[in-house]
Amino acid sequence: MPRYALKVEYHGGPFSGWQRQAGQPSVQEAVETALRALDPDQPGIAAAGRTDAGVHATGQVAHADLARDWDPFRLSEALNWHLKPAPVAVLAACRVPDAFHARFSATERRYLFRLIARRAPLTHDKGLAWQVLNPLDAGAMRNAAAHLIGRHDFTTFRSALCQSASPVKTLDEITIEEVALPQGMEYRFRLRARSFLHNQVRSIVGTLERVGAGAWRPDRVKDALEAKDRAACGPVCPPQGLYLTGVSYPADPFA
């Protein structure tokens, strides 16, 4: 069966997450339903990351095996037709070798978290960003984030439900960008690693927000990391500001 990689974008608001769950709407189910409109015997798909309920994606990658050869452009067009009206879109499709696996072949995952500080309620960005009322100290957050770069035991920033075999991960990058808005300020946290623990990004951003708000000093993040204790973590931030923006492979299947 020919194997195809799919680059998928979605608004996570209506879904219980990426992964199929009995009795709950999922992004995986939406894509598989569209695929089975083209191939009733399609066995299912695998994705690079199992995003949680409410989390969005602009660059999720999945792979699917189909019974016949498809022109990649026609495949993406057909899938997008059958995905309507769900807030899910296939941005690109391409033929890949049988050895390609969306999850296990990945060498890097990239996330964006959007945090908006303003007094007025969000309108256009409602459900697409986390809102706080007061401006944050981006310099203090950058100083705190520097303690997390590199290879560490991230037990403090790991959900109790995490199924990863080890809490040790290598965090390659955290950048914090400030974007002035007509009313308020947006802070964009970009994180890059080969893989992440369950709730790791939201735990890190929630903790850094406490630093930016002045409730934590920057070196307390180092102490929390070294504690290797979930109780030392700051609050876990809400999911609606989180986006899976990209996945890298040894050879870019969409190049």
* Single residue among 83, 105, 127 that ends a domain in this structure: 105
Same domain, 99 and 135: no
Question: What DSSP letter does each residue of the chain carry, written as one string?
Answer: --EEEEEEEE--TTSSBSS-BTTB--HHHHHHHHHHHH-TT---EEES--PBTT-EEEEEEEEEE-SS---HHHHHHHHHHHHTTSSEEEEEEEEE-TT--TTTT--EEEEEEEEEE-SSPPSTTTTTSEEESS---HHHHHHHHGGG-EEEE-GGGS-TT---S-SEEEEEEEEEEEEE-SSSEEEEEEEEES---TTHHHHHHHHHHHHHTTSS-THHHHHHHHHT-GGGS-PPPPGGGEEEEEEE-SS-TT-
R_g of the chain computed on alpha carbons: 19
Domain CATH code at residue 29: 3.30.70.580
- Say if pTM beats, i.e. exceeds, 0.75: yes
Domain co-membership, 54 together with 162 = no
Question: Is 29 in the same domain as 147?
Answer: no
pLDDT-derived band at 213 (thresholds 50, 70, 90) equals: very high
* Per-residue model confidence as pLDDT tens digits over 25-63: 999 999 999 999 999 999 999 999 999 999 999 999 999
Q: Looking at the domain assignment, is residue 253 inside a domain?
A: no
Asked whether residue 122 falls in the same domain as residue 217, the answer is yes
Q: Are 94 and 8 within one domain?
A: yes
Is there a single domain that holds both residue 128 and residue 174?
yes
Position 160 pLDDT exceeds 90 = no
One domain for residues 52 and 164: no
Q: Count the domains in the chain.
A: 2
Determine which of 18-22, 138-142, 217-221 has the lowest per-residue pLDDT on average.
18-22
pLDDT digits 0-9 by tens, 217-229: 999 999 999 999 9
Residues 67 and 184 in one domain: no
- Report yes or no on 252 lying in a domain: no
> Which positions are annotated as active-site residues?
52
Specify whether 132 is located in the same domain as 239.
yes
Residues 69 and 135 in one domain: no
CATH number at residue 219: 3.30.70.660
Average pLDDT of the chain to the nearest whole number:
97
Quote the pLDDT of residue 204: 98
Q: Among 63, 84, 105, which residue terminates a domain?
A: 105
The last residue of one of the domains, among 84, 105, 126, is 105
pLDDT (0 to 100) of residue 161: 85
Q: Are residues 70 and 133 in the same domain?
A: no
| Domain range enclosing 230 | 108-246
Note whether 91 and 160 are same-domain residues.
no
